[in-house]
């Protein structure tokens, strides 16, 4: 299978590293200088204290993607429209795009842009920290789920998603096909609601959130507010999201959350797609969302207190 991974961030590089051993993997970067650097240096993955180079092909030219089978969209939520608009001309032969963004904002943007290519959603519990261009430190194992959100796709597209899930498994990434991907999307959203903003505000790795009772209480309230929204919307989430969020804190204890990575690099965060999206829906439904509103406010302050690089 030929893969194009759109976005060389932590998850994009981690998936490229996992699939790159056995498949042809192209990494699409909007920055030509960095793409040239990645081509020379390869992906450098540090896992269990050992660094290993993994060959991939990087490019900033979407035309190089002609003939790929599947695109894995791994850009930040806010960058989805721009990344798809830029790469679509090169994705002519692509038969499936799987969107791996955090939060739920991208689900509203993608349908209008991907009218000709079938798309699915990927939700992953994998953790990774980008330590430099193409350099990642593995942050924790986690199940990946993939499924179709929109209308029932045709048989070849279902078969292709099944083949991608097999490739992921053979590359060492536990992966399942989900017939109800909205559930896992919300399961992950609630985890991100509890972890991401708090780690960015406290400037700490995921595991440290469990060190004091005040932070645990904030995490609990943020997740419970989101849980109430999901239940009111009729989304079938997995029971006990607070305990599952704390389990992710433990499983990815040393990981630097994607939001803290963004704040440290002065990049826009995904706050609007995570806690901000919960606040928006809670307000529409007349449900409480004080904690998510407060976390959103504090992250916006952090974003404003330092210059942002898109």
Contact residues toward ligand KPL (CB under 6 A) are: 102, 127, 191-192, 195-196, 206, 248, 252, 255, 257-258
> In angstroms, what CA-CA distances link 82 with 25, 30, 34, 310?
22, 10, 18, 12
How many CB atoms lie under 10 A from the CB of residue 33?
A: 10
Between 91 and 242, name the residue whose CB sits nearer to ligand KPL: 242
Whichever of 221 and 257 has its CB closer to ligand KPL, that residue is 257
At its nearest, how many Å lie between ligand KPL and the CB of residue 298?
17
CB-wise, 110 or 130, nearer to ligand KPL? Answer: 130
Shorter beta-carbon distance to ligand KPL: residue 62 or 103: 103
Question: CB 205 → ligand KPL: shortest distance, Å?
Answer: 9
Which residue carries 């536990």 as its tokens? 174
CB of 206 to ligand KPL, least distance (A): 5
Q: Which is nearer to ligand KPL, 62 or 125 (CB)?
A: 125
Q: How far is the CB of 263 from ligand KPL (least distance, A)?
A: 12
The distance of closest approach from Cβ of residue 270 to ligand KPL in the complex, given in angstroms and rounded to an integer, is: 8
Name every residue whose Cβ is closer than 8 Å to that of residue 297 and which is 6 or more positions away in sequence: none
């Amino acid at each position: 299978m030929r893969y194009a991974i759109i976005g060389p961030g932590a998850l994009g590089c981690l998936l490229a590293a996992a699939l790159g051993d056995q498949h042809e993997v192209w990494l699409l970067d909007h920055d030509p200088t960095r793409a040239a650097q990645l081509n020379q240096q390869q992906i450098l993955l540090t896992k269990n204290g050992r660094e290993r180079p993994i060959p991939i092909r990087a490019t900033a030219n979407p035309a190089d993607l002609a003939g790929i089978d599947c695109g894995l969209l791994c850009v930040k939520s806010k960058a989805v429209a721009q990344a798809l608009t830029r790469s679509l001309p090169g994705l002519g032969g692509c038969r499936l795009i799987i969107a791996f963004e955090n939060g739920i904002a991208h689900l509203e943007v993608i349908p209008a842009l991907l009218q000709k290519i079938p798309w699915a959603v990927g939700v992953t519990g994998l953790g990774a920290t980008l330590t430099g261009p193409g350099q990642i430190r593995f942050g924790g194992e986690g199940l990946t789920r993939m499924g179709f959100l929109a209308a029932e796709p045709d048989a070849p597209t279902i078969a292709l998603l099944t083949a991608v899930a097999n490739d992921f498994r053979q590359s060492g990434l536990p992966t399942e096909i989900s017939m109800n991907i909205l559930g896992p999307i919300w399961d992950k959203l609630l985890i991100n609601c509890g972890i991401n903003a708090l780690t960015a505000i406290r400037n700490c790795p995921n595991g440290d959130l469990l060190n004091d009772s005040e932070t645990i209480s904030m995490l609990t309230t943020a997740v419970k507010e989101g849980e109430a929204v999901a239940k009111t919307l009729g989304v079938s989430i997995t029971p006990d999201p607070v305990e599952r969020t704390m389990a992710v804190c433990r499983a990815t204890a040393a990981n630097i959350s994607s939001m803290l990575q963004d704040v440290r690099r002065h990049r826009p965060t995904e706050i609007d797609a995570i806690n901000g999206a919960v606040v928006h829906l809670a307000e529409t439904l007349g449900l409480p969302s004080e904690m998510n509103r407060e976390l959103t406010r504090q992250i916006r302050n952090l974003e404003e207190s330092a210059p942002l690089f898109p």
